[in-house]
Copies of this chain bind each other. A is one copy, B any other.
């Protein structure tokens, strides 16, 4: 009964006329087995439908697996905090199998910091790696090294064009922009859409939200060919400058009904402005369930949020590697596009 099938490595050994030591050897591909023994054992295994009991396996094994997760560093309430929660969930799972998890953070605006993170991970000789890549070239170099060392790695958030990865968990960025535009406009007579963007001081950084913006713009030009799309850049660090820019935006066009969208997680910047100025005439859509975004949703300064359970992405990434390490099982599918959740004030309180 136990484990569904009661056939053990001993049964296999007996049926194949060898010892369990030999069976174990073919089970783990560690050579030193004659071709005929090997063949026979494999045959018996599939005939009997033998499935190893990995509790016994873990118990007996002296191996110490470790998984490193490389993600951007963050402050409280920021996007990557949720990912860290997911790492904690994944840790809970992995630790049951005696696998330890560590998170290594880097400054997403600083290439050196990313390189340091990568090389320190490499030095620790991990059994597997989870990575949220922000620097294209450096990441490609890094995963190439991982591949050579036969270390499995999983992308989260966004992925690159190599194909050595074990799995990828992330949101379909283009589609999320398309969806966002649909929710923003939703059959209304929209003449102008305002995209609020973060003014990036450093150039040359990869920005995963570009694809999202493309989806957004495509939707508009397909469904509202006469609609104007206007970009407004705000400074994330300077409130005053931010308010000035937004004031200008509102003054430039007398219509108080504005359609506003942000393609990253920081729509709360817009909400704060609207709250302070007492503006309730706009339709605002943003992304991700930060506390400040949720508050804006509840208060009615943001009408909808598109969310992606990025915690689950990290957790899934870790269990994918765990399962691969423990039971040699690759995930059912390699590319896992997580669902896009539409949140409004009536369902956001039930979002975990």
A interface with B by C-beta (< 8 Å): 1-4, 53-56, 58-59, 64, 95-96, 98, 100, 172, 175, 178-179, 182, 186, 337-344, 346-347, 350-352
What B residues does A350 contact at CB under 8 A? Answer: 172, 175, 337-340
User: What are the 4 A-B residue pairs with the smallest beta carbon separation, nearest first?
Assistant: A55-B55, A342-B342, A179-B346, A340-B347
A329 to chain B, nearest CB (A): 11
Q: How far is the CA of A338 from the CA of B309 in the complex (A)?
A: 14
- Write the chain B residue with the least CB distance to A181: B346
Q: Would you mind naming 30 contact pairs between A and B with Cβ atoms under 8 Å apart?
A: A1-B64, A1-B98, A2-B98, A4-B95, A4-B100, A53-B59, A55-B55, A55-B56, A55-B58, A55-B59, A56-B59, A59-B59, A175-B346, A175-B350, A178-B346, A179-B344, A179-B346, A182-B344, A182-B346, A186-B186, A339-B347, A339-B351, A339-B352, A340-B347, A340-B350, A341-B341, A341-B342, A342-B342, A342-B343, A342-B344
Q: How far is the CA of A5 from the CA of B100 in the complex (A)?
A: 11
A1 to chain B, nearest CB (A): 5
Among B3, B178, B351, which residue has its beta carbon within 8 angstroms of that of A95?
B3
Contact B341 A339 (CB under 8 A): yes
Q: Which of A56, A96, A343 has the most CB of B within 10 A?
A: A96
- Write the chain B residue with the least CB distance to A345: B182
What B residues does A4 contact at CB under 8 A? Answer: 95, 98, 100
Q: How far is the CA of A342 from the CA of B54 in the complex (A)?
A: 40
What B residues does A337 contact at CB under 8 A? Answer: 350
Among B64, B175, B182, B340, which residue has its beta carbon within 8 angstroms of that of A2?
B64
What B residues does A344 contact at CB under 8 A? Answer: 179, 182, 342
Contact B1 A100 (CB under 8 A): yes
Q: Which of A58, A339, A344, A351 has the most CB of B within 10 A?
A: A339
What B residues does A182 contact at CB under 8 A? Answer: 344, 346
Q: How far is the CA of A340 from the CA of B95 in the complex (A)?
A: 31
A115 to chain B, nearest CB (A): 29
- Write the chain B residue with the least CB distance to A338: B350
Q: How far is the CA of A352 from the CA of B58 in the complex (A)?
A: 32
What B residues does A2 contact at CB under 8 A? Answer: 64, 98
What B residues does A351 contact at CB under 8 A? Answer: 339
What B residues does A352 contact at CB under 8 A? Answer: 339
Q: How far is the CA of A54 from the CA of B342 in the complex (A)?
A: 40
- Write the chain B residue with the least CB distance to A176: B347
A125 to chain B, nearest CB (A): 14
Contact B55 A179 (CB under 8 A): no
A118 to chain B, nearest CB (A): 24
- Write the chain B residue with the least CB distance to A308: B350
Q: Which of A4, A172, A346 has the most CB of B within 10 A?
A: A346
